[in-house]
Amino acid sequence: MSTQVPEQTEEESSADTESQSQSAAQQARMEKKRDRAAQRDQQREAEEAEREFSEDGTYLLKVFRYDPEIAGKQEPRFDEFHVPYHTGMTVLDALMYARDEYDSSLTFRHSCRQAVCGSDALFVNGRQRLGCKTQLSDLEEPVRIEPLPHQEVVKDLVVDMEHFYDQMHAVEPYFQTNDLPEGEQLQSRENREKIKMSTRCIWCGACMSSCNIAAGDNKYLGPAAINKAYRFTMDEREGEDMKEHRMKIMEQEHGVWRCQTQFSCTEVCPKDIPLTEHIQELKREAVKNNLKFW
């Protein structure tokens, strides 16, 4: 019996070489990725260490105060709080410390502390942010904390959200169809990917607060409500009759056509929803629905 090993063909040899080359390139990319991640971790640790041991180890907060029910506090002002800093401290953590240790009358909304409930949207250092998601170490001192702009202030950092909720409900944000299937109502993977980002809205109102159009037009539905309409309009499980109905809501004078594509809503969204893109897509749908072929 012959024990001679068959020689590799030129094609097999070339394939092996190419495979080894691809493997080496992939390994090099992974090593670079790990190196970059390690550098980021080192830089972050250094910044946090610097924060922990700088000066007296506190952060200066300048917090908006207003109480219409108490004499002497009806004039808006800013109060200062020096809050001891610790690694990973958020704006919400700092506010809670200031309330618990310095002034129990300090008023603000918060709930889940996991960037899900959307109740602690604030105007921090000139930008709409979630208090529970914003790290103090990412901000310059003094940290200026104010209620959301373009909303009526109820007390301190609490604003009246009723108008925002009214606009959200105006687009009928729930499934409606007269064509229910006999069995399970399925959704394709492609359609799920299309609307996935729009489902992440947590009703925080940050986008509405940043919108100059909404600030000047109280009837404008606003980016959050239009995004919610997009979520259902583009869902293939929504009935065609209800899709047409929802598009009529979007096509009204104070609907999608009021958007001037400033991208401010997209920039401040804590869930990275491409709000402006969704509004523009609904505009294109509105145009297509009104096309006449005769």
Kindly give the residue spans of alpha helices, DSSP state H, lying in 130-274: 162-170, 189-195, 206-210, 212-216, 223-233, 240-250, 264-268
Q: Look at residue 86 in the predicted model and tell me its pLDDT.
A: 92
Structure confidence at residue 54 (pLDDT): 45
- The owner of tokens 């907060």 is 61
- If asked whether residues 167 and 285 sit together in one domain, one would say yes
Task: Give every residue of the chain whose pLDDT is below 50, as ranges.
Answer: 5, 52-54, 293-294
Whether 36 is covered by a domain: the verdict is: no
Same domain (yes/no): 282, 196: yes
One domain for residues 234 and 200: yes
In a domain, 101, yes or no: yes
CB–CB of 131/139 below 8 Å? no
Instruction: Give, rounded to a whole angstrom, the gap between the first and last alpha carbons of the chain.
Output: 83
Whole-number pLDDT of residue 21 = 66
Domain count, the chain: 2
Distance CA 127, CA 149 (A): 10
Which CATH number goes with the domain that contains 69?
3.10.20.30
In sequence order, which ranges of 108-234 are alpha helices (DSSP H)?
162-170, 189-195, 206-210, 212-216, 223-233
* Model confidence pLDDT, tens digit, residues 182-224: 788 889 999 999 999 999 999 999 999 999 999 999 999 999 9
The pLDDT assigned to 256 comes to 94
Is 294 within the bounds of a domain? Answer: no
Give pLDDT tens digits for 91-132. Answer: 999 999 999 999 999 999 999 999 999 999 999 999 999 999
Residue range(s) defining the domain that contains residue 237: 162-179+188-289
Is 221 part of any domain?
yes
Task: Report pLDDT for 294.
Answer: 43
149 plus 193 within the same structural domain: no
CATH number, position 249: 1.10.1060.10
Could you tell me the pTM of the whole model? 0.76
Q: Is residue 133 part of a domain?
A: yes
